[in-house]
Chains A and B, each alone.
Chain A
Amino acid sequence: MGLQDKLNDLLQQGLKQVEESVNLESINDVRVKMLGKKGPITEVLRGMRDLSAEERPKVGQFANEVRDQLTNAIDEQRAKLENAKLNDQLKKEAIDVTLPGNSVAQGQPHVIQQIIDELVDLFIGMGYVVAEGSEVEEDRYNFEMLNLPKDHPARDMQDTFYVTPEILMRTQTSPMQARTLETHDFSKGPLKMVSPGKVYRRDTDDATHSHQFHQVEGLVIGKHITMADLKGTLEVVAQDLFGDELEVRLRPSYFPFTEPSVEADITCFNCHGKGCAICKYTGWIEVLGAGMTHPNVLKMAGVDPEEYGGFAFGLGPDRFAMLKYGVNDIRDFYQNDVRFLTQFDQKG
């Protein structure tokens, strides 16, 4: 039997053993046995010195081919076995992925805060500054400078918590109108501000009344501010909050610090104008009050109403939240039940 036949034999033998290997240990054994320094191939190669110079390279080449073939077969089989072993292990590691994940701590902004932030951001986008005033105000700024002298009947519309005859819990965010008008430098351009914050009324708390709630006031005063600008602004606000497919209607109203005064309604988002319990079967929902700033307000703040004018508006985040999310008890906002607070957690 020539060396070549021997090698061939060894190759067939080796491939058979590789094929028969069922685990990593036995494949390793095959490798050591067949390809090791003391293995049969090495032995065969040792016998090459007896070959003629012609035959030697041929047999040498063949021997290398056999070695490579076996090495490849072993590697291939090993990879296969390793893969099988890993798959086996992964199978064992399988878990019920439908079991719930661990809890993580994440707090939520209050729903009223969310509405205020949304509004404030909307106005910032339109170039407004944000001016928060004091919650304890002077009668002068809360009423008098807003064209509500002491015996004005409209004061009855707002029951007030007084501290002294001149100091009170602000009943509206409107005092910031007078305060910003007094300090604004009109040589630097028009005044555009929003003022969000808490306000207080002497009310008994029930499902629809709260002695504490929120308002967002807005004021734009300049040389060329029109009622059309007010209308456009209110439409942007109403549609941003409630959806841009809704119609906005303005209707006359009365506020002592604006003239003309309007109330803005939107088509009821629940029934789309057909009439339902939310809109009290009118098809409309009142969302904010506004108007063109009364010349007396400008005058009292030292601004010339002949030269400057503009608009103001006020809206209620509590009411918005109630409408938008179907909250039917205003006290829910201030009792802070965690089951209430954590409901408004969608970030999108």
Chain B
Amino acid sequence: MKVSYKWLQEYLDIDVKPKDLAEKLARTSVDINDVYSPSDGLTKLVVGYVTSLKPHPDSDHLAICQVNIGEAEDVQIVCGAPNIAANHNVIVALPGARIGNNIKIKRSKMRGELSEGMICALQEIGFTEKVAPKAYDEGIWFLPEEAKPGESIFPYLGMDDVIIDTDITPNRGDMFSMRGNVNDIAAFYDLKPHFTEKKVVENSDEQTSDLISAAIPNPEIAPTYKLRVIKDVQIADSPLWLQIKLWNAGIRPINNVVDVTNYILIKYGQPLHSFDYNKLPSHDISVRHAHQGEEFVTLDKDTRELIAEDIVVTAGDKPVALAGTMGGLETAISDDTTAVTLESAIFDSILVRKQARRLDLHSESSTRFERGIDPATVETAVDEAAQMIAELAHGTVTTGIVTGSETKPKPVIVKVTLARINHVLGTSLVAQDVTDIFNRLAFVSEFNGDTFTVDVPTRRWDVNIEADLLEEIARIFGYDNIPSTLPAQTNNVGGLDAEQKLIRSSRHVLEGLGLNQAISYSLTTIEKAQQFQITNGGTPMVLDYPMSQDHVATRMNLISGLLIDVAYNVARSQENIALYEQGRTFVPVAADQRPTEEEHIAGVVTGKLLTDTWHDKTEAVDFYQIKGIVEQFLQNMALTGNVTFVANTARKEMHPGRTADIFLDDQIIGYVGEIHPNTAKEYKIPESYVFELNLEPIIANDKIARHYQEISKYPSITRDIAMLVNDYITNQEIVSLIQDKGGAFLTDVTLFDVYQGTHVPEGKKSLAYSLTYQDKNETLVEDKVNQAFDKVTAKLIEEFDITVR
């Protein structure tokens, strides 16, 4: 809410700087968006009196004006406004002035005629289109007759005010009014406000109830509903003081009836609606839910199609307003209005909110109905409005208020003990401190030596329970004054659990292996969500009402997100990309059930893992490099289970000849390989290698206990074997056999050469292994090694039909 500092001063003897007041408000009450003066950034704008004018000889729309700016001689200013006229006070920007949008005004010649400045419209001195009065849309603004030429225009237009723009939290609906602000500021500065209410004088004997009736069959949608009628009104512009109050509050002045309703809205936070009494199709007023599909033309000339949840004010069952949201075009106040029906009501906050939201019609009124209305001022507000209209539009107020519904506010009594206050806030307040705070808030309280019993006024409908009172005490006492402590240490031990530790170290391992952590979007397309699954988990969970077609479904794999990242990099000329991601995948369980969230880890390498330098040319990544990363990772995970890699030619998105499933014992836990060229093309990425692992079985698998293996002081012996073998036999089969049959002293098997080509027959490959033997307890003798080596060679011949080379 845009709170005028000058308006506050009418009710409070306050002498702090507006900036300091704003800081205090922020610390005690509501957040502050901005503190500004309407005159900020504007200079050299003075009152000018147009003494005479003549048409410009070379233009059909410009006028040459002689303007008194308080100097000995008039100055000449060329003006193009259609409503420029002699004998009026106008806004003059002198040469050197800064006007709106930081435009600088210079002495100039306009079509040959000297112009010493500029005569300005309100829009040219910073007024927004939304706020500047419509009547002057096309022209300049006239200052009051009593304005003195040469003086600053700011005081005449209320532009010397300072506006504190507050950002109000949902609970503090009371701060949407001057009254609320005055009360709260009075509380934290310990001031006595002199807020004035204007009493109504019913100057017509005519009974309102003879003119109009109101019946609310369903008081839940309109718990309070009241009407007044003002007759014989003369619609005109409001006086300048009223217009200033409105435009400084960000509301456009319209006429002396509508402006009064808006003034009351700001002053009390009570929205009022004014109907043209004579245009109401009937004078039997009611409030009901709309009929599904019912049409209604609102003030802004839009035809709205309503739904059954909407609420409308009706006259003889015909809608005349969207309750609390916007009035109807047909019954709006216009220049020929002579009688006004004023509505002051409370509508159901949720229904107003839904209606305003659905129709995108958030207004000053709907905001206040949504945040709450003080039931105590519904009548005060309509009375004061009626009186003001009577005064400003020379109307007569008829006798009596017509009440369609009325819900008397229930008294709110909240109790809190002094001990509780100090226990929760960590303070050491005494009873008098707390009583003072309640007094400053103007909450009636009683203390019985132990407990405060507080009667909460209706204007603070957010205060209902003990915790609410604690907040009031805390903020008025001042959060700055609350001590700073830490919770007392107890014997609770914090820390990560085993799973969290493993996940954290899984990240560190991959970073150590050269992959950068990526965090991609978990929501993706349905197609991408279900690609690259380790085991087929079906179709992904889909959002009911997504925001964009790129983020529709929860991912069931991490690779697709990483490939989007690769594509993003490739499109920006990044050739070497090494990423990993650790995060959740979502495995659907059943419709209407939450998916199972699995922790996965995945990586991608495109281009080179190491960048080339002048000294060192590196190889582009291949299958074996990414596999090396996976192997090292799994090694670090210290699994007791047996990890094996098995070729899988059937993964749709993967290269059929360069992909291996990864098994932990006989459970598949992931895969590693090259992206299928077709998939790479779809993602617009070059040759890329990926892996994805389900961390859940890795977390669940027992870990190898750390135990030091003494390093043998006896020498080891190695034997190399080179063999020709059918090319469908895998390395893994051979290594398994060697390990299985290698004897007690075999400590290591290392593949050191793979060869196919010249000198190797078709359908065969040459493999060479180095076998290392060692005895922990004594020096190994050649004979034992020879025996073991011969045995394993024989087994290899027997099982795989190898030829030793």
Q: How far is the CA of A182 from the CA of B466 in the complex (A)?
A: 23
Cβ contacts A to B, 24 pairs, < 8 Å? A100-B613, A104-B514, A105-B513, A109-B511, A110-B517, A124-B494, A127-B489, A135-B554, A136-B586, A151-B350, A154-B170, A161-B545, A169-B554, A211-B551, A225-B487, A226-B485, A228-B482, A229-B487, A252-B28, A259-B465, A292-B424, A295-B465, A295-B467, A342-B516
Least Cβ–Cβ distance between A319 and chain B, in angstroms: 15
- Determine if B543 is an interface residue (Cβ-Cβ < 8 Å): yes
A residues less than 8 Å from B370 (CB atoms): 153
User: Which of B105-113, B406-414, B590-598 faces chain A?
Assistant: B590-598
Q: How far is the CA of A167 from the CA of B485 in the complex (A)?
A: 39
A residues less than 8 Å from B475 (CB atoms): 252, 260
Q: How far is the CA of A231 from the CA of B609 in the complex (A)?
A: 47
User: Which of B29-37, B87-95, B453-461, B729-737 faces chain A?
Assistant: B29-37
A residues less than 8 Å from B357 (CB atoms): 156
Asked if B574 and A339 make an inter-chain contact with CB atoms under 8 angstroms apart, the answer reads yes
Asked if A135 and B522 make an inter-chain contact with CB atoms under 8 angstroms apart, the answer reads yes
A130-B496, A259-B470, A260-B475 known; A249-B170 Cβ under 8 A: no
B residues less than 8 Å from A200 (CB atoms): 522-523
Asked if A162 and B497 make an inter-chain contact with CB atoms under 8 angstroms apart, the answer reads no
Asked if B545 and A190 make an inter-chain contact with CB atoms under 8 angstroms apart, the answer reads no
B residues less than 8 Å from A336 (CB atoms): 516, 518-520, 565, 568-569, 579
User: Which of B614-622, B633-641, B688-696 faces chain A?
Assistant: B614-622
Asked if A190 and B467 make an inter-chain contact with CB atoms under 8 angstroms apart, the answer reads no
Asked if A252 and B546 make an inter-chain contact with CB atoms under 8 angstroms apart, the answer reads no
| Cβ 8 A contact of B31, one of A117, A233, A251 | A251
- Determine if B427 is an interface residue (Cβ-Cβ < 8 Å): yes
Least Cβ–Cβ distance between B108 and chain A, in angstroms: 34
Asked if B616 and A127 make an inter-chain contact with CB atoms under 8 angstroms apart, the answer reads no
- Determine if A37 is an interface residue (Cβ-Cβ < 8 Å): no
* Nearest-neighbor residue (CB-CB) of A135 within chain B: B584
Asked if B547 and A341 make an inter-chain contact with CB atoms under 8 angstroms apart, the answer reads no
Asked if A104 and B610 make an inter-chain contact with CB atoms under 8 angstroms apart, the answer reads yes
**Binary per-residue interface labels of chain A (275-315) against chain B in the complex, 1 for a CB within 8 Å, 0 otherwise:** 00000001000000000101100000000000001000000
* Nearest-neighbor residue (CB-CB) of B422 within chain A: A226
- Determine if A224 is an interface residue (Cβ-Cβ < 8 Å): yes
A113-B517, A336-B518 known; A167-B592 Cβ under 8 A: yes
Asked if B519 and A232 make an inter-chain contact with CB atoms under 8 angstroms apart, the answer reads no
Asked if A103 and B613 make an inter-chain contact with CB atoms under 8 angstroms apart, the answer reads yes
Asked if A229 and B486 make an inter-chain contact with CB atoms under 8 angstroms apart, the answer reads yes
**Binary per-residue interface labels of chain B (552-587) against chain A in the complex, 1 for a CB within 8 Å, 0 otherwise:** 001000000000010011001010111110011010
B residues less than 8 Å from A263 (CB atoms): 31
A169-B543, A227-B482, A232-B485 known; A106-B523 Cβ under 8 A: no
Q: How far is the CA of A32 from the CA of B199 in the complex (A)?
A: 133
A169-B523, A228-B485, A337-B574 known; A251-B594 Cβ under 8 A: no
Most buried by A among B27, B471, B546, B612: B471
Asked if B517 and A109 make an inter-chain contact with CB atoms under 8 angstroms apart, the answer reads yes
Asked if A130 and B497 make an inter-chain contact with CB atoms under 8 angstroms apart, the answer reads yes
B residues less than 8 Å from A227 (CB atoms): 424-427, 474, 482
B residues less than 8 Å from A333 (CB atoms): 519
Asked if A251 and B26 make an inter-chain contact with CB atoms under 8 angstroms apart, the answer reads yes
Q: 8 Å CB contacts to B: which residues of A305-348?
A: 309, 333-339, 341-342
Least Cβ–Cβ distance between A142 and chain B, in angstroms: 11
Q: How far is the CA of A110 from the CA of B212 in the complex (A)?
A: 69
A residues less than 8 Å from B172 (CB atoms): 254
Asked if A108 and B572 make an inter-chain contact with CB atoms under 8 angstroms apart, the answer reads no
| Cβ 8 A contact of A127, one of B480, B493, B522 | B493
Asked if A212 and B522 make an inter-chain contact with CB atoms under 8 angstroms apart, the answer reads yes
Most buried by B among A120, A135, A233: A135
6 pairs of A and B residues whose beta carbons are closest in the complex:
A105-B514, A228-B426, A226-B426, A260-B471, A254-B169, A250-B479
Asked if A226 and B544 make an inter-chain contact with CB atoms under 8 angstroms apart, the answer reads no
Interface residues on B, range: 35 or more
A-B contact count (CB 8 A): 277
- Determine if B349 is an interface residue (Cβ-Cβ < 8 Å): yes
B residues less than 8 Å from A236 (CB atoms): 486
* Nearest-neighbor residue (CB-CB) of B615 within chain A: A102
Q: How far is the CA of A280 from the CA of B592 in the complex (A)?
A: 45
- Determine if A143 is an interface residue (Cβ-Cβ < 8 Å): no
A residues less than 8 Å from B515 (CB atoms): 107
A105-B609, A107-B517, A212-B522 known; A226-B423 Cβ under 8 A: yes
- Determine if A261 is an interface residue (Cβ-Cβ < 8 Å): yes
Q: How far is the CA of A212 from the CA of B522 in the complex (A)?
A: 8
Least Cβ–Cβ distance between A210 and chain B, in angstroms: 9
Q: How far is the CA of A132 from the CA of B574 in the complex (A)?
A: 35
| Cβ 8 A contact of A102, one of B493, B568, B586, B613 | B613
Asked if B586 and A107 make an inter-chain contact with CB atoms under 8 angstroms apart, the answer reads no
Q: How far is the CA of A103 from the CA of B616 in the complex (A)?
A: 8
Asked if A112 and B519 make an inter-chain contact with CB atoms under 8 angstroms apart, the answer reads yes
Main secondary structure of the interface of A (DSSP, over half): mixed
Q: What is the interface of chain B, defined by CB distance below 8 A to chain A?
A: 26-32, 169-172, 349-350, 353, 357, 370-371, 423-427, 465-468, 470-471, 474-475, 479-480, 482-497, 500, 504, 507, 510-523, 541-548, 551, 554, 565, 568-569, 572, 574, 576-580, 583-584, 586, 591-595, 597, 609-616, 618
B residues less than 8 Å from A282 (CB atoms): 32
Q: How far is the CA of A132 from the CA of B499 in the complex (A)?
A: 11
A residues less than 8 Å from B568 (CB atoms): 335-337
- Determine if A1 is an interface residue (Cβ-Cβ < 8 Å): no
Q: How far is the CA of A227 from the CA of B482 in the complex (A)?
A: 8
Least Cβ–Cβ distance between B545 and chain A, in angstroms: 6
B residues less than 8 Å from A137 (CB atoms): 594
Least Cβ–Cβ distance between A149 and chain B, in angstroms: 10
A residues less than 8 Å from B583 (CB atoms): 198
Asked if B471 and A259 make an inter-chain contact with CB atoms under 8 angstroms apart, the answer reads yes
* Nearest-neighbor residue (CB-CB) of B33 within chain A: A280
Asked if B516 and A220 make an inter-chain contact with CB atoms under 8 angstroms apart, the answer reads no
Asked if A163 and B471 make an inter-chain contact with CB atoms under 8 angstroms apart, the answer reads no
B residues less than 8 Å from A188 (CB atoms): 492
Least Cβ–Cβ distance between B319 and chain A, in angstroms: 24
* Nearest-neighbor residue (CB-CB) of B370 within chain A: A153
Q: How far is the CA of A263 from the CA of B615 in the complex (A)?
A: 55
Asked if B479 and A192 make an inter-chain contact with CB atoms under 8 angstroms apart, the answer reads no
Asked if A108 and B471 make an inter-chain contact with CB atoms under 8 angstroms apart, the answer reads no
Asked if B487 and A220 make an inter-chain contact with CB atoms under 8 angstroms apart, the answer reads yes
| Cβ 8 A contact of B545, one of A101, A110, A202 | A202
Q: How far is the CA of A128 from the CA of B516 in the complex (A)?
A: 29
B residues less than 8 Å from A341 (CB atoms): 516-518, 579
A103-B618, A254-B169 known; A212-B523 Cβ under 8 A: yes
| Cβ 8 A contact of A157, one of B170, B488, B611 | B170
- Determine if A129 is an interface residue (Cβ-Cβ < 8 Å): yes
A residues less than 8 Å from B471 (CB atoms): 252, 259-261
B residues less than 8 Å from A259 (CB atoms): 465, 467-468, 470-471
B residues less than 8 Å from A233 (CB atoms): 486-487
Least Cβ–Cβ distance between B548 and chain A, in angstroms: 7
| Cβ 8 A contact of B27, one of A117, A154, A251 | A251
**Binary per-residue interface labels of chain A (114-137) against chain B in the complex, 1 for a CB within 8 Å, 0 otherwise:** 000100100111111110101111
A129-B494, A189-B492 known; A162-B487 Cβ under 8 A: no
Asked if B594 and A190 make an inter-chain contact with CB atoms under 8 angstroms apart, the answer reads no
B residues less than 8 Å from A167 (CB atoms): 592-594
Least Cβ–Cβ distance between B603 and chain A, in angstroms: 9
Asked if A226 and B425 make an inter-chain contact with CB atoms under 8 angstroms apart, the answer reads yes
Asked if A136 and B424 make an inter-chain contact with CB atoms under 8 angstroms apart, the answer reads no
Least Cβ–Cβ distance between B148 and chain A, in angstroms: 35
A136-B541, A136-B594 known; A125-B494 Cβ under 8 A: yes
A224-B488, A232-B485, A252-B30 known; A198-B522 Cβ under 8 A: yes
B residues less than 8 Å from A100 (CB atoms): 613-615
* Nearest-neighbor residue (CB-CB) of A250 within chain B: B479
* Nearest-neighbor residue (CB-CB) of A220 within chain B: B487
Asked if A107 and B580 make an inter-chain contact with CB atoms under 8 angstroms apart, the answer reads yes
Q: 8 Å CB contacts to B: which residues of A163-212?
A: 163-164, 166-167, 169, 188-190, 192, 198, 200, 202-205, 211-212
